[in-house]
Amino acid sequence: MDTFKNMITNPILPGFHPDPSFCRAGEDYYIATSTFEWFPGVRIHHSRDLVHWRAMPSPLTRIAQLNMKGNINSGGVWAPCLSYDNGVFYLIYTDVKSRVGAFKDTHNYLVTATDVEGPWSDPVYLNSSGFDPSLFHDEDGRKWLVNMIWDHRKGKNRFAGIVLQEYSVKEQKLVGPAVNLFKGTDLGLTEAPHLYKHNEFYYLITAEGGTGYEHAVTVARSRSIHGPYEVDPTNPILTSHGRADLPLQKAGHGSLIETHSGEWYMAHLVGRPVQEKHCILGRETALQRCIWSEDGWLRLATGNRYPELYVTAPKITLHPFEPTSEIDHFDVTELRNDWNTLRIPPDPTWLTLTTRPGYLRLHGMESMSSTHRQSMVARRLQAFECEAETCLEFAPDHPQQMAGLILYYDTQDYLYLRVTHHEEKGLCLGIIQSKYGVYDEVLEEDIPLQSGHRIRLKTVINHDRACFYYALDDDPSWVPAGDWTDITHLCDESPEYIRFTGTYIGLSVQDLGGTRKYADFDYFEYKETNKQTVELA
């Protein structure tokens, strides 16, 4: 039997996994991705063959490292950079506090660990001059930080260039002058810098064109780390722009590694749109095989600049991992690492797996509009066709108390199958939504639940729409709760402003009166029914 697998299937990290940072430590490969307002911060995946990937524990697990209470939508952790040098993992990340309008408050930090699974250190503050920081370890032992610099002034190029400054490990701070290395190409919106040394050149890889459908990877090089940098005459080296027929759109934000077998690969983000360019899964991570040209420029191995669905894998022995169970029975004392919470870490005052063993208990807090204290536990939507199911025990006594199954993008956009109390109907079920910030009740009237100590809830997702179902107690039959509903507003593309996350499926409880009424969830099952790549509408 052949121990090598010929092809990598993209995206390798489906669903909300943007801004990949590629890292190799010996024969182990890691990709760190942005998590924005979701806690814990930074998602890390591990591979031994670039074909199979598994999620690792996240590194930013405590408020001392990441305090996001009150962070805006699509704020929080932007574009982490994971690197490895002499037995130490270095993780650099941005905590974005504001991003709309002329100003951006972007604070950059560094944490370290000798084991990628932790423990990770408390953060070292670096700077706030811009975002997308990256750390380069030079051959002489010196370390250099690069980040884009933001210029808020009217009439200026907001993406004002890539700044280089030395980092002192001994002093744990940036030292020396900050030098603007590179003002970018005509594509503009120059960001996501990564430095590499190959043969006699320093290579600066950047993302340009914005993180939407004109996104691209560009390259420049210099014999000195301080420049001047010569722009690759064939830029961009990777993009989907101009090819609306490609299943992988938005290609950009590249990060490079050389395998231990001597082959080169680039991780980059992509989006897979449905119906009029709506990316409900968010931005995802893909891999492309690379080569070096005779004149020393980085090229895709295909000879063109477009992302491929299927990519030749490296000559490395196949190393699969055990798959994660589709069902979580909540029979352990901590959340599995495919779960996230919004802005705040799990806390026994609102989330517990031990008070009632075998159940997840959530105490209701603030509304779905809150950027402070939401009682929500959610996982990424990672397929265009899937089902999710849970079983709820909940005894509300006021309309301000709600619990159920939610499809959530951010405070502006969600679709929520929730159980609540009505003054006349008593226990009842309904669907509420927010679409681009406008609240609505999908059903004309809530459905009375005449019985139902245990209420089973389910959603079925088919590309651009979803349908909810419910069942009471042990009744095996599912009853539709309304018709199919459009979910294309659960996407990056908003008519008001660009945003950067992806759709989550979650368990949610609210108590707007402040009494912290709780709900118990017996299990959660997430099942993908078709993993094929979406066809463009």
Residues identified as active-site: 19, 191
Cα(322)–Cα(316) distance, rounded to whole angstroms?
19
Residue with token string 């210029």: 151
Torsion of CA 34, 35, 40, 45, to 10 degrees: -50
- The terminus-to-terminus CA distance of the chain in angstroms comes to 40
Is the Cβ–Cβ distance between 427 and 524 less than 8 Å? no
Work out the burial of residue 153: count CB atoms within 10 Å of its CB; fewer than 13 is exposed, 13-18 middle, 19 or more buried: exposed
E strands present in 173-229: 173-182, 191-198, 201-208, 216-222
Tokens of 91: 């993780």
**Could you count the other beta carbons within 10 Å of the beta carbon of residue 435?**
16
Q: Classify the C-alpha dihedral 220-223-224-230 as positive or negative.
A: negative
Cα(107)–Cα(130) distance, rounded to whole angstroms?
8
What is the SS3 string spanning 331-347?
Answer: CCCCCCCCCEEECCCCC
What does the chain come to in residues? 537
Within 305-441, residue ranges assigned H as helices are none
Instruction: Tell me: cis bond preceding 236? Omega within 30 of 0 counts.
Output: yes
Residue with token string 């395998």: 259
Q: What is the phi-psi region of residue 59: left when phi exceeds 0, alpha when psi lies from -120 to 50, beta otherwise?
A: alpha
